[in-house]
Homo-oligomer: A and B are copies of this chain.
Amino acid sequence: MRIGELATRTGVSVRALRYYEEQNLLTSQRSPSGQRQYPDSAVDRVQLIQQLYAAGLPSKSIAELLPCVVNGEATPELLDRLSAEQDRIDSRIGDLVSARDRLGTVIAAATANWRTGQRCRLQ
């Protein structure tokens, strides 16, 4: 498929796809006239890239880890990188959970105040 179709099928902009190629996250065959050609598997690949971006990895890290993730070409070094990233993600999750809980406390207190007193003061 061409780049436009890949874009609509993944929900990612054409610009972003070209950017991924520039960052060596995604490769393409070229037609004689120079247009990019993608196999169907590119859809999954793009979604994987999106998932790793969503996990907070910068494109450089993704570029380093993708060969392992996609092809299973793992060296002990790459495995260390992978679990280091996993730890980073875990601690990010911890941050998010505590932030969400804090908001939860605030919401509960403010809602209670709202129902009882109209005028709100925490504590």
Contact = CB atoms under 8 A, between A and B. Distances in A.
Interface of A: 48, 51-52, 54-56, 68-74, 76, 78-79, 82-83, 85-86, 89-90, 92-93, 95-100, 102-104, 106-107, 109-111, 113-114, 120-123
Contacts of A107: 79, 82-83, 86
Contacts of A85: 103
| Oligomer: number of copies | 2
Contact of A111 (B71, B79, B90, B97): B79
A93 B90 contact: no
A73 B82 CA distance: 44
Contact of A72 (B76, B89, B109): B109
Contacts of A70: 122
A74 B104 contact: no
Given A76-B114, A82-B107, A89-B96, 8 more contacts: A54-B92, A56-B96, A69-B103, A72-B109, A72-B120, A72-B122, A82-B103, A83-B107
Contacts of A123: 72
Nearest to A48: B102
